[in-house]
Homo-oligomer: A and B are copies of this chain.
Amino acid sequence: MKAKVYVTLKKGVLDPQGKAVGGALESMGYKEVKDLRIGKFIEIELNGSSKTETEKRLKEMCEKLLANTVVEDYRVEIE
């Protein structure tokens, strides 16, 4: 089974890396860029047959390790 996890900074949390990249794009002439935020994209290959059970376990992994839930949100997608 394949899963995708998206970890993004919560709204209101400053993203200095995103700001820097957005500023760099602007100075390169891409003036249309208004805002840019950078998150993580995690691709996981797992053994398992039950989608429901896998989703539950993945959410646990996010809470415990993959995301810092104080400042980050996460979203899990199973293929």
Question: A residues touching B (Cβ–Cβ < 8 Å)?
Answer: 6-8, 18, 21-22, 24-25, 28, 30, 32-48, 54, 57, 61, 64-66
Contact = CB atoms under 8 A, between A and B. Distances in A.
Contacts of A8: 41, 43
Contacts of A25: 61, 65
- Sorted from nearest, which 10 A-B pairs have the closest CB atoms? A41-B41, A35-B45, A39-B41, A34-B45, A32-B47, A32-B46, A37-B43, A36-B44, A32-B48, A38-B42
Contacts of A57: 30, 32
Nearest to A22: B44
Contact of A39 (B24, B40, B61): B40
